[in-house]
Amino acid sequence: MKVLSIQSAVAHGHVGNSAAVFPLQRIGVEVVPVPTVNFSNHTGYGAWRGPLIPPSDVAEILLGVEERGVFPQIDVVLSGYQGGVGIGDVIIDAVRRVKAANPSALYACDPVMGNAKSGCFVAPEIPDLLRDRVVPVADIITPNQFELGYLTGTEPASIDSTLASADLARDMGPSTVLVTSVERPDREEGVIEMLVVDNAGAWLVSTPYLPFKVNGSGDVTAALFTAHYVATRDAALSLERTASSVFDLIETTYRSGERELQLVQAQESYAAPRMQFSAKQVR
Protein backbone atom coordinates (compact mmCIF):
# COMPACT_ATOMS: atom_id res chain seq x y z
CA MET A 1 0.00 0.00 0.00
CA LYS A 2 1.16 3.54 -0.74
CA VAL A 3 -0.26 6.57 1.11
CA LEU A 4 0.11 10.21 0.05
CA SER A 5 -0.06 12.04 3.38
CA ILE A 6 -0.48 15.83 3.21
CA GLN A 7 -0.02 17.11 6.76
CA SER A 8 2.06 19.26 9.08
CA ALA A 9 5.59 18.33 10.12
CA VAL A 10 7.43 19.17 13.36
CA ALA A 11 11.07 18.72 14.31
CA HIS A 12 10.41 18.00 18.00
CA GLY A 13 7.60 15.68 19.00
CA HIS A 14 4.95 13.88 17.04
CA VAL A 15 1.94 15.47 15.36
CA GLY A 16 0.71 15.47 11.76
CA ASN A 17 3.05 13.58 9.47
CA SER A 18 5.56 13.42 12.31
CA ALA A 19 2.99 11.22 14.09
CA ALA A 20 1.44 9.36 11.15
CA VAL A 21 4.40 8.32 8.99
CA PHE A 22 6.34 6.00 11.31
CA PRO A 23 3.36 3.89 12.50
CA LEU A 24 2.30 3.45 8.87
CA GLN A 25 5.81 2.41 7.88
CA ARG A 26 5.94 0.02 10.83
CA ILE A 27 2.91 -1.87 9.49
CA GLY A 28 4.45 -2.08 6.04
CA VAL A 29 2.88 0.92 4.31
CA GLU A 30 4.93 3.09 1.95
CA VAL A 31 4.29 6.77 2.74
CA VAL A 32 4.80 9.81 0.54
CA PRO A 33 4.75 12.64 3.13
CA VAL A 34 4.10 16.17 1.89
CA PRO A 35 4.46 18.86 4.59
CA THR A 36 2.08 21.78 4.99
CA VAL A 37 4.10 23.40 7.80
CA ASN A 38 7.62 22.84 9.06
CA PHE A 39 7.53 23.88 12.70
CA SER A 40 9.98 23.37 15.54
CA ASN A 41 7.19 21.83 17.66
CA HIS A 42 3.41 21.66 17.83
CA THR A 43 1.49 24.80 18.71
CA GLY A 44 0.23 23.44 22.03
CA TYR A 45 3.41 24.76 23.63
CA GLY A 46 2.23 28.31 22.94
CA ALA A 47 5.46 29.15 21.11
CA TRP A 48 7.05 27.66 18.03
CA ARG A 49 9.28 28.57 15.12
CA GLY A 50 9.35 27.71 11.46
CA PRO A 51 7.27 28.39 8.38
CA LEU A 52 3.79 27.71 7.20
CA ILE A 53 4.46 26.36 3.71
CA PRO A 54 2.56 28.43 1.13
CA PRO A 55 -0.14 26.43 -0.68
CA SER A 56 1.62 27.16 -3.97
CA ASP A 57 4.76 25.44 -2.65
CA VAL A 58 2.78 22.44 -1.44
CA ALA A 59 1.23 22.25 -4.91
CA GLU A 60 4.71 22.35 -6.46
CA ILE A 61 5.84 19.41 -4.29
CA LEU A 62 2.76 17.45 -5.30
CA LEU A 63 3.36 18.27 -8.96
CA GLY A 64 6.91 16.98 -8.67
CA VAL A 65 5.66 13.74 -7.13
CA GLU A 66 3.11 13.42 -9.92
CA GLU A 67 5.81 14.01 -12.55
CA ARG A 68 7.77 11.08 -11.13
CA GLY A 69 4.83 8.83 -12.06
CA VAL A 70 3.78 8.17 -8.48
CA PHE A 71 0.08 9.08 -8.58
CA PRO A 72 -1.07 5.82 -10.28
CA GLN A 73 0.55 3.94 -7.37
CA ILE A 74 -1.25 5.89 -4.63
CA ASP A 75 -3.90 3.87 -2.80
CA VAL A 76 -4.90 6.54 -0.28
CA VAL A 77 -4.63 10.29 0.08
CA LEU A 78 -4.59 11.23 3.78
CA SER A 79 -5.00 14.74 5.17
CA GLY A 80 -5.24 16.21 8.65
CA TYR A 81 -5.02 19.70 10.14
CA GLN A 82 -5.47 22.39 7.48
CA GLY A 83 -3.91 25.71 8.41
CA GLY A 84 -5.71 27.85 5.84
CA VAL A 85 -8.24 27.87 3.04
CA GLY A 86 -5.59 27.67 0.31
CA ILE A 87 -4.26 24.31 1.42
CA GLY A 88 -7.76 22.85 1.23
CA ASP A 89 -7.90 23.72 -2.45
CA VAL A 90 -4.52 22.07 -3.02
CA ILE A 91 -5.62 18.88 -1.25
CA ILE A 92 -8.91 18.69 -3.17
CA ASP A 93 -7.02 19.12 -6.44
CA ALA A 94 -4.49 16.44 -5.47
CA VAL A 95 -7.30 14.02 -4.65
CA ARG A 96 -8.88 14.67 -8.04
CA ARG A 97 -5.60 14.02 -9.86
CA VAL A 98 -4.74 10.91 -7.87
CA LYS A 99 -8.19 9.43 -8.52
CA ALA A 100 -7.85 10.23 -12.22
CA ALA A 101 -4.58 8.28 -12.24
CA ASN A 102 -5.92 5.47 -10.02
CA PRO A 103 -9.74 5.26 -9.90
CA SER A 104 -9.64 2.82 -6.98
CA ALA A 105 -7.74 5.29 -4.74
CA LEU A 106 -9.52 6.61 -1.64
CA TYR A 107 -9.35 9.92 0.20
CA ALA A 108 -9.29 9.87 4.02
CA CYS A 109 -9.84 13.22 5.72
CA ASP A 110 -9.34 13.91 9.42
CA PRO A 111 -11.50 17.07 9.70
CA VAL A 112 -9.52 18.70 12.49
CA MET A 113 -11.42 21.61 14.08
CA GLY A 114 -11.33 21.27 17.84
CA ASN A 115 -12.94 19.38 20.69
CA ALA A 116 -15.72 19.72 23.23
CA LYS A 117 -13.43 21.08 25.96
CA SER A 118 -11.45 23.60 23.90
CA GLY A 119 -13.98 24.46 21.20
CA CYS A 120 -12.68 25.28 17.72
CA PHE A 121 -8.95 26.01 17.57
CA VAL A 122 -8.59 26.46 13.81
CA ALA A 123 -8.94 29.59 11.68
CA PRO A 124 -12.60 30.74 11.52
CA GLU A 125 -13.01 29.83 7.85
CA ILE A 126 -11.71 26.25 8.19
CA PRO A 127 -14.81 24.52 9.64
CA ASP A 128 -17.02 25.76 6.79
CA LEU A 129 -14.37 24.78 4.24
CA LEU A 130 -14.22 21.27 5.67
CA ARG A 131 -17.99 20.90 5.83
CA ASP A 132 -18.86 22.39 2.47
CA ARG A 133 -15.97 21.43 0.20
CA VAL A 134 -13.53 18.91 1.68
CA VAL A 135 -15.72 16.32 3.43
CA PRO A 136 -18.02 15.88 0.39
CA VAL A 137 -15.08 14.57 -1.69
CA ALA A 138 -13.78 12.25 1.06
CA ASP A 139 -14.35 8.49 1.21
CA ILE A 140 -13.35 8.13 4.87
CA ILE A 141 -13.57 10.77 7.62
CA THR A 142 -12.31 10.50 11.20
CA PRO A 143 -13.93 13.27 13.27
CA ASN A 144 -14.23 13.33 17.02
CA GLN A 145 -17.74 13.69 18.43
CA PHE A 146 -17.52 17.50 18.58
CA GLU A 147 -16.35 17.73 14.96
CA LEU A 148 -19.06 15.32 13.83
CA GLY A 149 -21.64 17.58 15.44
CA TYR A 150 -20.34 20.65 13.66
CA LEU A 151 -20.20 18.95 10.28
CA THR A 152 -23.81 17.81 10.57
CA GLY A 153 -25.37 20.62 12.61
CA THR A 154 -26.28 18.18 15.39
CA GLU A 155 -25.34 17.49 19.01
CA PRO A 156 -24.44 13.79 19.17
CA ALA A 157 -24.36 12.35 22.66
CA SER A 158 -26.02 8.92 22.94
CA ILE A 159 -25.20 5.98 20.70
CA ASP A 160 -28.41 6.55 18.74
CA SER A 161 -27.80 10.27 18.21
CA THR A 162 -24.16 9.67 17.28
CA LEU A 163 -25.23 7.03 14.76
CA ALA A 164 -27.79 9.47 13.34
CA SER A 165 -25.10 12.16 13.03
CA ALA A 166 -22.73 9.70 11.36
CA ASP A 167 -25.47 8.82 8.86
CA LEU A 168 -25.91 12.53 8.07
CA ALA A 169 -22.15 12.79 7.52
CA ARG A 170 -22.26 9.78 5.20
CA ASP A 171 -25.05 11.46 3.25
CA MET A 172 -22.57 14.30 2.57
CA GLY A 173 -20.26 11.97 0.62
CA PRO A 174 -18.01 9.74 2.76
CA SER A 175 -19.02 6.09 2.94
CA THR A 176 -17.05 5.41 6.13
CA VAL A 177 -17.11 7.49 9.33
CA LEU A 178 -14.85 6.77 12.30
CA VAL A 179 -15.88 8.79 15.38
CA THR A 180 -12.65 8.85 17.35
CA SER A 181 -14.03 9.82 20.76
CA VAL A 182 -17.58 8.97 21.80
CA GLU A 183 -18.41 10.28 25.26
CA ARG A 184 -22.02 9.24 25.84
CA PRO A 185 -23.61 9.99 29.22
CA ASP A 186 -24.55 6.34 29.85
CA ARG A 187 -21.17 4.81 29.06
CA GLU A 188 -19.41 2.62 31.56
CA GLU A 189 -17.34 4.60 34.05
CA GLY A 190 -13.64 4.93 33.24
CA VAL A 191 -13.83 4.20 29.52
CA ILE A 192 -13.79 6.10 26.26
CA GLU A 193 -15.20 4.74 23.02
CA MET A 194 -14.76 4.85 19.26
CA LEU A 195 -17.50 4.19 16.73
CA VAL A 196 -17.22 3.26 13.07
CA VAL A 197 -20.05 3.26 10.55
CA ASP A 198 -19.87 2.01 6.97
CA ASN A 199 -22.15 0.33 4.45
CA ALA A 200 -21.94 -2.99 6.31
CA GLY A 201 -23.00 -1.72 9.74
CA ALA A 202 -21.76 0.06 12.85
CA TRP A 203 -19.36 -1.05 15.60
CA LEU A 204 -18.33 0.39 18.96
CA VAL A 205 -15.14 -0.31 20.90
CA SER A 206 -14.38 0.72 24.49
CA THR A 207 -10.93 1.29 25.96
CA PRO A 208 -9.87 2.47 29.41
CA TYR A 209 -9.76 6.24 29.76
CA LEU A 210 -6.38 7.66 30.76
CA PRO A 211 -6.62 11.07 32.45
CA PHE A 212 -4.38 13.13 30.22
CA LYS A 213 -4.31 14.64 26.73
CA VAL A 214 -1.43 14.09 24.36
CA ASN A 215 -1.09 15.85 21.03
CA GLY A 216 -0.87 13.67 17.93
CA SER A 217 -2.86 10.65 19.10
CA GLY A 218 -5.69 11.55 16.72
CA ASP A 219 -3.23 11.72 13.82
CA VAL A 220 -1.99 8.21 14.62
CA THR A 221 -5.58 6.96 14.97
CA ALA A 222 -6.64 8.35 11.59
CA ALA A 223 -3.56 6.96 9.84
CA LEU A 224 -3.72 3.44 11.30
CA PHE A 225 -7.47 3.04 10.89
CA THR A 226 -7.30 4.22 7.29
CA ALA A 227 -4.50 1.79 6.42
CA HIS A 228 -6.16 -1.16 8.13
CA TYR A 229 -9.53 -0.39 6.54
CA VAL A 230 -8.13 0.00 3.04
CA ALA A 231 -6.21 -3.27 3.44
CA THR A 232 -9.10 -5.33 4.86
CA ARG A 233 -12.36 -3.45 4.09
CA ASP A 234 -13.42 -4.83 7.49
CA ALA A 235 -14.54 -1.96 9.73
CA ALA A 236 -14.76 -3.99 12.95
CA LEU A 237 -11.32 -5.57 12.56
CA SER A 238 -9.77 -2.22 11.61
CA LEU A 239 -11.36 -0.61 14.67
CA GLU A 240 -10.03 -3.35 16.96
CA ARG A 241 -6.50 -3.12 15.56
CA THR A 242 -6.48 0.66 15.80
CA ALA A 243 -7.89 0.76 19.33
CA SER A 244 -5.33 -1.80 20.50
CA SER A 245 -2.37 0.05 18.99
CA VAL A 246 -3.43 3.55 20.04
CA PHE A 247 -4.29 2.55 23.61
CA ASP A 248 -0.88 0.94 24.07
CA LEU A 249 0.78 4.04 22.58
CA ILE A 250 -1.09 6.35 24.94
CA GLU A 251 -0.49 4.11 27.95
CA THR A 252 3.24 3.95 27.15
CA THR A 253 3.29 7.74 26.93
CA TYR A 254 1.29 8.16 30.15
CA ARG A 255 3.60 5.87 32.10
CA SER A 256 6.69 7.64 30.75
CA GLY A 257 5.69 10.99 32.23
CA GLU A 258 6.73 12.66 28.98
CA ARG A 259 4.68 15.31 27.22
CA GLU A 260 5.23 13.98 23.69
CA LEU A 261 3.93 10.71 22.27
CA GLN A 262 6.37 7.85 22.84
CA LEU A 263 5.95 6.89 19.21
CA VAL A 264 9.17 4.90 18.77
CA GLN A 265 8.99 3.20 22.17
CA ALA A 266 5.50 1.85 21.39
CA GLN A 267 6.31 0.63 17.89
CA GLU A 268 5.54 -3.04 18.52
CA SER A 269 1.94 -2.07 19.28
CA TYR A 270 1.50 -1.06 15.61
CA ALA A 271 3.36 -4.00 14.07
CA ALA A 272 1.77 -6.61 16.34
CA PRO A 273 -1.29 -5.19 18.10
CA ARG A 274 -2.35 -7.19 21.17
CA MET A 275 -6.02 -7.17 20.05
CA GLN A 276 -7.13 -6.73 23.66
CA PHE A 277 -10.40 -4.94 22.76
CA SER A 278 -13.42 -6.35 20.92
CA ALA A 279 -15.73 -4.26 18.75
CA LYS A 280 -19.44 -4.64 19.47
CA GLN A 281 -21.88 -4.35 16.58
CA VAL A 282 -24.47 -1.70 17.41
CA ARG A 283 -26.34 -1.76 14.11
**pLDDT per residue rounded down to tens, the chain (283 residues):** 999 999 999 999 999 999 999 999 999 999 999 999 999 999 889 999 999 999 999 999 999 999 999 999 999 999 998 877 899 999 999 999 999 999 999 999 999 887 766 666 677 788 888 999 999 999 999 999 999 999 999 999 999 999 999 999 999 999 999 999 999 988 989 999 999 999 999 999 999 999 888 999 999 999 999 999 999 999 999 999 999 999 999 999 999 999 999 999 999 999 999 999 999 999 9
Short-list 190, 246, 178, CA closest to 214 = 246
What Cα–Cα distance (Å) separates residue 212 from each residue in 7, 34, 43, 71, 217?
Answer: 24, 30, 17, 39, 11
Q: What is the pLDDT of residue 116?
A: 63
Q: What is the pLDDT of residue 84?
A: 77
Decide: 7 and 88 in contact? Cβ < 8 Å. no
Assigned CATH for 2-281: 3.40.1190.20
Q: What is the pLDDT of residue 118?
A: 63
- The Cα 50–Cα 99 span in angstroms is 32
The domain locations on the chain are 2-281
Task: Please indicate, yes or no, whether the overall pTM of this predicted structure exceeds 0.85.
Answer: yes
Q: What is the largest CA-CA distance in the chain?
A: 53
Short-list 195, 194, 180, 172, CA closest to 144 = 180
Rounded to the nearest 5 degrees, what angle is found at the Cα of 163, between the Cα atoms of 160 and 168?
130
Q: What is the pLDDT of residue 213?
A: 83
Strand partners, 128: none
Q: What is the pLDDT of residue 174?
A: 98
